Amino acid sequence: MIAPRLVHELAAVVDLTHTDSSAEVVYNRVVETARRTIPGCDGASFVLWCAEPPRLHVATHPDIAQIDEAQFQVREGPGLTALRQCALVELPDTLRDPEWPAYSTFAVHRGVRCCLATAFELPDGLGLLQLYATAPGRLTAELEPELALIARYTRAAARNIRVYSRAQAQAQQMRAARESSVVIEEAKGILMHAYGCDADAAFDRLRRMSQQGQVKLATVAQMLVRQVSAGPAADGALP
């Protein structure tokens, strides 16, 4: 039976995505939740895998991060196998592992005797969750329901992160467009005053300056405003 504490903590992970928490903060919370709530788990890591090298990698301990990096370097191990198969992969005892000898040797030297890895689809790639234990046989396929639940909540968090990031990007674009519009209008006013022309003629002059200098219109306008703001000495140098 899945522990209520796991459900509660995973719900808190998803709640993080309703704020400005970064993806790294959210996924760190996922691995800490796994470490605290999964029976027999002494450490965990998560990898967001879009292409090699991984896009994002978090772990509950530096030794675990090193084990993961070694796995990616030697190109063997339960995590990579889980990624290839998009399935649950169990390593009962690293000291008696004939399948991934290079990986297991490195893991044993870091005190890890058992590993359970699962991979699942996310909006931006594949998620790889790996659980680690310091004693053999403590992490088994019987934990599949717990891992499936973690995958489901992580997927929900990843979707929220994407939506929030897009909303932030759109808001920044709108702010930039508004600021550009304000400075362009200010620059037009400067030119209208300096040359006694109307708004359309001032805009045409700005546009020509932009084209001739191969500089964005808003940048030209900002340069002009700064030039005039610098004082009377610069006013006589209007284009």
In CATH, what number is assigned to the domain containing residue 44?
Answer: 3.30.450.80
Which of these ranges, 91-100, 111-120, 147-156, has the smallest mean pLDDT? 147-156
Q: Which of 150, 167, 184 is the last residue of a domain?
A: 167
pLDDT of residue 234: 47
Same domain, 25 and 58: yes
CB atoms within 10 A of CB 211: 11
Most confident option among 12-21, 50-59, 209-218: 209-218
User: pTM here?
Assistant: 0.69
Same domain, 156 and 179: no
3-state secondary structure at position 108: helix
Same domain, 92 and 198: no
How many domains is the chain built from? 2
In the predicted model, what is the mean pLDDT of residues 69-97?
95
Same domain, 151 and 226: no
Separation CA 32–CA 20 (nearest Å): 19
Separation CA 60–CA 131 (nearest Å): 10
Write down the residue that tokens 């995590």 correspond to. Answer: 79
Same domain, 36 and 112: yes
Q: Which residues pair with 49 in a beta bridge?
A: 126
User: 164 pLDDT band (50/70/90 cuts)?
Assistant: low
> Residue 192: pLDDT above 50?
yes
pLDDT of residue 206: 85
Sign of CA dihedral 15, 21, 23, 29: negative
Separation CA 209–CA 52 (nearest Å): 45
> What range defines the domain where residue 228 resides?
173-235
Residue 101 CB partners (closer than 8 Å, separation 6+): none
